[in-house]
Copies of this chain bind each other. A is one copy, B any other.
Amino acid sequence: MTRVLILGGGGMVGQKLAARLMTSGLKDDPTPDITLFDMGFPPGGVAGPAQMTGNLGDPDTATRLAALKPDIIFHLAAIVSGESETNFEKGWAINMMSMWHLLEALRHEHLRSAGAYVPKMVFTSSIAVFGAPYPDQIGDEFLSAPQTSYGAQKAICELMVTDFSRKGFIDGMSLRLPTICVRPGKANLAASSFFSGIIREPLNGMEAILPVPDTVRHWHASPRSAAGFLVHAAALDTERLNGRRALSLPGVSCTVAEQIEALRRAAGQGAVDLIRPQPDAAVMKIVEGWPRDFNPERAVALGFRAEESFDEIVQVYINEDLPNATV
């Protein structure tokens, strides 16, 4: 039986992934053995998987996790972008140093097994590894020049995952997720949180704050696509990556104005009227350094798929999450 470990399994994408694995399993194993690791778990979360509580910043956590000898590790745990920017030490400790300790612990398990143990790792990186100025579309050979600590930490983890994989200690890859939208539940500390808020709150009859001009263009995919990317990556033959194990993924490029038009088409002017512009220079400063559009040829050729329009992204939220939303 395939042992699956989801780091950050209590988070939004972790829960989506766990739910999907409980329903549909993996390509080669319809009923994998799933363990979720996180600092805590939401009430009413996905039932079935084992739950393991801990802090990636603790010195023995990496050893405990590697001792489980998971066959597949989905690494989704992170301090989000906004908090990494305000809490420098915490961001580097959790987003960078804990990855190092985990990779080292896995390498030691690999060596102890005389090379037999080579876990698959799917790491969620981010489009925050890129920094302005950009071409109109970011291609697969564009440099990582992050302009946030979060982006730097993600870019460093990509390099580590690639080198530990090249040496055969793990078989890893990094997925640069688009901004996941529409996130169900509450706003989080990510600077990108408002991209979901301006759709989610109005659909739930609540006011939403828009901290940036509606001309801001950004790159999105739904939580359903995120779970789909992860499951697809777990089944991918990484030989096809030719040593470049970090991938930019498909998504939808649109402006905030276009997001709002999609909301109007789905829920009418009344919903749109709940969006209140309230410029926030700190958020704007982070967001204006972010990518606007991609041409992710490699990921598309490798079979990764996202939504085709922001209307589709709104519909995914309405179908999957709106009935459960806390109003």
Complex: how many Å from CA A152 to CA B162? 9
Complex: how many Å from CA A160 to CA B159? 13
Complex: how many Å from CA A141 to CA B167? 27
**A40 interface residue per 8 A CB criterion:** no
**B141 contacts A243, CB within 8 Å?**
no
Query: 1/0 contact trace for A110-150 toward B, CB 8 Å?
Result: 00000000000000000000010001000011111111010
Query: Which of the listed residues A131, A142, A163, A244 has the most CB atoms from chain B within 10 Å of its own CB?
Result: A163
Q: Which of A140-176 contact B (CB under 8 A)?
A: 140-147, 149, 152, 155-156, 159-160, 162-163, 166-167
**A147 contacts B88, CB within 8 Å?**
no
Query: 1/0 contact trace for A214-249 toward B, CB 8 Å?
Result: 000000000000000000000000000001101000
Q: Which of A13-42 contact B (CB under 8 A)?
A: none
Query: 1/0 contact trace for A65-93 toward B, CB 8 Å?
Result: 00000000000000000000000100000
**A146 contacts B159, CB within 8 Å?**
yes
Complex: how many Å from CA A162 to CA B246? 20
**B167 contacts A160, CB within 8 Å?**
no
Query: Which of the listed residues A88, A143, A149 has the most CB atoms from chain B within 10 Å of its own CB?
Result: A143
**A143 contacts B146, CB within 8 Å?**
no
**B142 contacts A141, CB within 8 Å?**
yes
Known: A141-B142, A152-B160. A243 touches B167 (CB 8 A): no
26 residue pairs of the A-B complex, CB under 8 angstroms, read A88-B167, A131-B243, A131-B244, A135-B141, A140-B143, A141-B143, A142-B143, A143-B143, A143-B144, A144-B144, A144-B159, A145-B162, A145-B243, A145-B244, A146-B159, A146-B162, A146-B163, A147-B166, A147-B243, A149-B167, A152-B159, A152-B160, A152-B162, A156-B156, A156-B159, A156-B160
Closest 9 CB pairs of A and B: A152-B163, A152-B159, A156-B156, A145-B244, A141-B143, A143-B143, A156-B159, A149-B163, A155-B159
